[in-house]
Each structure stands twice: as structure tokens, then as C-alpha cells.
Amino acid sequence: DIVMTQSPDSLAVSLGERATINCKSSQSVLYSSNNKSYLSWYQQKPGQPPKLLIYWASTRESGVPDRFSGSGSGTDFTLTISSLQAEDVAVYYCQQYYTSWTFGQGTKVEIK
Amino acid sequence: QVQLQESGPGLVKPSQTLSLTCTVSGGSISSGPYYWSWIRQPAGKGLEWIGRIYISGSTNYNPSLKSRVTISVDTSKNQFSLKLSSVTAADTAVYYCARDLGTISKGGFDPWGQGTLVTVSS
């Protein structure tokens, strides 16, 4: 299995400030034939299912605010919230869909 | 738009088989290059992919659960189902069904059902 490790486990950010979440895979999730990294990001609020934010590591899903951005390739990835809003308080997960899909352990984002 | 809804018993006895159904509405389960997946989440913990099915009946399972999992599809009812055998307390979780976008134009899971809590207890 590909193990996905997120850091930090939690972070507290002031409203309007930047939040950065890292995700590392135990092996590359970059498919060489199309140069795409098979990595997605989700947001989960309490009592709700996860919501897809980003796929192909950096493509924002339709309707997702542009303050959310994804970057990285191969084994190292980042989700950035450029200006944290109150409604962004949630747990964020990365997930690889390269093989036998696996998720990171989650990162809890709170307001400082 | 496509919506998914899980249904099934909320309580299962140890050693028995957990059975859940996901009903797809707002679109045909047979349309698009999509798979249909089951994912679970123990209370306060992370997400674990269980497996997926294509409308052809082709399946992929999490290796750690493969010996106990069966996923099937009924296109006439626009449903797909999960069976997990020989359950223990460790299988207690919220179970989600989700559309697996595959790897052609998009990736990841979207949308998701609201989830259903299954408790394994005698």
C-alpha cells in the first residue's frame, strides 16, 4: 500500500492568514505517461461527508473558492488556504488514486 | 445532480455479515466512465477505502479487507451494494458510498452519500 502522511496533525491560523498542509506519499503517485500526479484533497466538516476540493494535485474542483490551491508532484504535495475564513474550519485529507486508494490521516484546521 | 444515499441495518452482531446498499439518484449508475466506491470512517478517525465496482461488474478491493468484502451492482435499480463478512467491533464505523471519478478526466471521489453508522455489537 502507498502510505500517505500529512503534517501537521493540526494547526491554528488567524482569520485572513495563510494555512499550509503538507502530504507525503511513501512512493511516487506521478504517472509518467501523462505527467499527472494522482492526488486529491478533501475538506470534511463535522457531521458531513468529505468534499472534493482538488484533483490531479492542483486542479480545483468546480465551485471551490480560489483561496484553496494545491501544488506538488511525485511524493510531496501541499494544500494552501491563502486567506483563512471561518467556514474553512474543518479536517483536510489528501488521497492518492494511483493504486489501491489510500488517505492521509487528516489535518485539523482551527481559528487562532 | 447525482446524489447517493446509503441504507441498511445500523447494528450488526459480531461474526455476522454487514450489508449496505447505495442508491444513486439524479443520474444513471451506468453513465460516464465512473466507478462506485465504499469508504468507511471509524468515529473520530480517518478514512479507509473499502473497494469499488464498475458497471461491468469489475471490482477492486482494499487488500487488507479483500478476503471479507463483496461489492455488487444492480443497474436496473440504480444501486450498488457492500457485504462485509465476519465483522468485529473494529468494523464499527460510518460507511460512505461515493462516485469514483476514475482517472480519465478527473480523479477522486465526488459526490459522497451522507454516510450511515454501522455498529458491531452483540
Residue B104 has pLDDT above 90, yes or no: no
pLDDT of residue A73: 98
Residue B29 has pLDDT above 90, yes or no: yes
Q: Report the phi/psi class of residue B52: left, alpha or beta, with left for phi > 0 and alpha for psi in -120 to 50.
A: beta
Residue A100 has pLDDT above 90, yes or no: no
pLDDT of residue A53: 98
Residue B31 has pLDDT above 90, yes or no: no
pLDDT digits (tens, 9 = 90+) for A42-86: 999 999 999 999 999 999 999 999 999 999 999 999 999 999 999
**Chain A residues within an 8 Å CB radius of B101:** 55
Q: Do A104 and B46 touch (CB under 8 A)?
A: yes
Interface test with B, best of A101, A103, A105 (most B CBs within 10 A): A101
Cα distance between residue B20 and residue A22, in whole Å? 34
Asked if B48 is an interface residue toward chain A (Cβ–Cβ < 8 A), one would say yes
Residue whose grid cell is 480523479: B107
